[in-house]
Amino acid sequence: MVSGKFIQSSYFPWTFIADLYLQGALAGTAPPIGIRRPEQTPPCSGIWIMRSAKTYSGLPLRPDKVPTQPESHAPSPTRPMMHLTTTDLSIRAGLKIVRLSLIGIGICCSIAGCPLRAPLQASEGEASVVRIPQPLPPTASSRGLDETSQLVQRMDVLEQNYDRLAGDYQSLQSDYDDLKSSLKRLVHPGHGEVTMKIGGRIHADYWAFPASSPGIDEIATAGLGDGPQDRLGFRRARFGVQGDLWKTMQYKIEMEFAAGVKTEFRDLFIGMKDLPILRTVLVGNQKRPYGLDHLNSSRFNVFMERPFIIEAFNQDSRRLGIASYGFSADEAWNWRYGVYNMRLVQDEGNYTGDHYQLEFAGRLANTLWYDRASNGRGYAHWALSGTFARPDGNGPPLPLPGGNEAEFRTRPEARTRLRWLNTGPIAGADNYGLLGAESVLNLGPLQLVGEYQNVWLGRDPGSGRDLHFHGGYFYLSYFLTGEHMPWKRQQGVLGRPEPLENFFLVDTARDGVHAGWGAWQIAARWSYADLSDDDIDGGIGQSGTLGLNWYWNAYTRVQLNYLYGDIRGRRSPPTDGQTSGIYQIVGLRFMVDF
């Protein structure tokens, strides 16, 4: 008995002949077939031919022993030309062997007087059994031949079906080649060793300001208007491509069209990966490595806009630089660090100036707990980040080329024309350092996130004493429908939430209207920033935000935010005095990414 495929017999004369025939047909192409006589088995107790789920013969051919089709063989006019593989030839040869074997067994049955009682089963995945029962009178031999003939006919049908499937495969291959050729005429990389992935996002916003005090009206308009105005438009309209250049290089180009006629770029870099020590190195416009809420993609952030302090210390986040990225083998640790120019060049394309205004920034993050059993529904994270920057405190005011980059400003966690907290360019700034701490705890649908950042700025002698600005935020979010916020351990940032049930609403005509709810998430955030110190009155702001997120699917979401906040100690240019006030804001966003 070999590999579960055997012939079992106790009636020697005709079974011996069948065995010799099968072994002769398979000489050099299959393992030998054993013949054994089980003890206490009556004569002619039966013969079983076992087969696997992938062959009808039960005796698979070795591909190296199967003859190949001659190259000069011309295709039949009634049969499509096929590229025969060793698997095709093995199946064909196996069918032929079974067919001849059945004829030989039928002859033996007629000699022994044992008819075939059970037909060969051809359903895939089940063992087929051919059983030869106890001897019958000689008059039954004709029945054995008839049943053998029926089995041979069934094998003919199997061969015809196989030929038909082979023809269908050839037709599908031809259609695939045609489709591939058509796609090449539409969008394709520049050469064969480049990959290209197209992506983009659309964020359509509505912002309303139902209430604001006179002080806020002055801050929001610089004393030149009636207060903050409602806004309707696109917050983001991005389109870009990314991919690999050969095996160890990568690239990304992402353009922003939300500004209308003024097109800007966002991520724009080339890189090397799988490097020793440095791992991945990117050169170009990329995010500076501090502020978790900025490192998170806007596609996945819980709230519509980022907190006061995150945007104030890292306005628009991306800068031109060179940076290294890496993570540990167990993905518990990840890091990024690099050197950046402080100028925001995404709307200018370049930096001009003899003072390079460079900064060195880095972040070390640790996922100290990650529940693999629940596929990451539970995890804990912490990180430290910082920078040391050398602005040109004696440079011209922004936005002139080479302007002083020692400025911290932000909007009220909503879209407005002006920044409501703003230090302005700090004259005499020589250097500053930033230190930030962040933490995340996720327990199923519940998530708690917090960050706190400090900036210490040193000024040239005679320009005033050194300054300290600081702030932070904390938020809690919860999925009412049971989902969770995924975590990317290699980068230490939030991932893409996926609803347990997508939102849909369809009329089935016969079965009424069917609907899916999607995923629902509620959230609350408190935020604080202090940009006032000594003679700098950038303002002190705090805000509370309530959020509702409705995920239609993993790529489409509706966001609703309500904000209540106040600003104190903000120096207003028209009166050159400190101004304070309170405000309420409502925001609505429809967003999709691909």
3-class secondary structure, 348: coil
For the record, the structure tokens of 378 come out as 């539970």
pLDDT for the residue 392:
96
**Euclidean distance between the first and the last CA atom of the chain, given in angstroms as a whole number:** 58
Residues 6 or more apart from 110 whose CB is under 8 A from it?
Answer: 141, 142, 144, 145
pLDDT tens digit sequence for 480-528? 999 999 999 999 999 999 999 999 999 988 888 999 999 999 999 999 9
Q: What is the CA radius of gyration of the chain?
A: 38
Q: Can you tell me the distance from the alpha carbon of 334 to that of 491, in angstroms, rounded to the nearest whole number? A: 6
For the record, the structure tokens of 66 come out as 């199967």
pLDDT for the residue 183:
67
Least confident of 144-153, 366-375, 510-519, 583-592: 144-153
Examine the pLDDT at 185 and tell me if it is beyond 70: no
Examine the pLDDT at 31 and tell me if it is beyond 70: no
pLDDT tens digit sequence for 67-123? 444 444 444 444 444 444 555 555 666 656 656 665 566 555 555 555 444 444 444
pLDDT band at 226 (very low <50, low <70, confident <90, very high): confident
Q: What Cα–Cα distance (Å) separates residue 510 from each residue in 42, 358, 503, 505, 506?
A: 64, 67, 21, 15, 12
For the record, the structure tokens of 209 come out as 């300001």
Q: Can you tell me the distance from the alpha carbon of 549 to that of 561, in angstroms, rounded to the nearest whole number? A: 9
Backbone phi and psi for residue 98, each to the nearest 5 degrees, phi listed first: -60, -40
* DSSP assignment string, 262-314: S-EEEEEEEEEEEETTTEEEEEEEEE-S--HHHHS-TTT-SSSS--HHHHHHS
pLDDT tens digit sequence for 393-410? 999 888 888 899 999 999
Examine the pLDDT at 124 and tell me if it is beyond 80: no
Model pTM? Answer: 0.71
For the record, the structure tokens of 574 come out as 């028209």
Q: Can you tell me the distance from the alpha carbon of 228 to that of 567, in angstroms, rounded to the nearest whole number? A: 14
CB count in 10 Å sphere of residue 370: 19
Are 51 and 6 spatial neighbours (Cβ–Cβ below 8 Å)? Answer: no
Question: DSSP assignment, residue 395?
Answer: S
| CATH class as words, domain 197-342+353-593 | mainly beta
Q: Can you tell me the distance from the alpha carbon of 235 to that of 233, in angstroms, rounded to the nearest whole number? A: 7
Amino acid at 343: R
Q: Can you tell me the distance from the alpha carbon of 128 to that of 151, in angstroms, rounded to the nearest whole number? A: 13
pLDDT for the residue 5:
37
pLDDT for the residue 324:
98
Extents of the domains making up the chain:
7-69+81-184, 197-342+353-593
Mark residue 506 as left, alpha or beta (left: phi above 0; alpha: psi -120 to 50; beta: remaining): beta
Mean pLDDT of the chain: 82
Respond yes or no on whether the N-terminal peptide bond of residue 399 is cis (omega within 30° of 0). Answer: yes
Q: How far is CA 266 from the centre of its chain?
A: 20
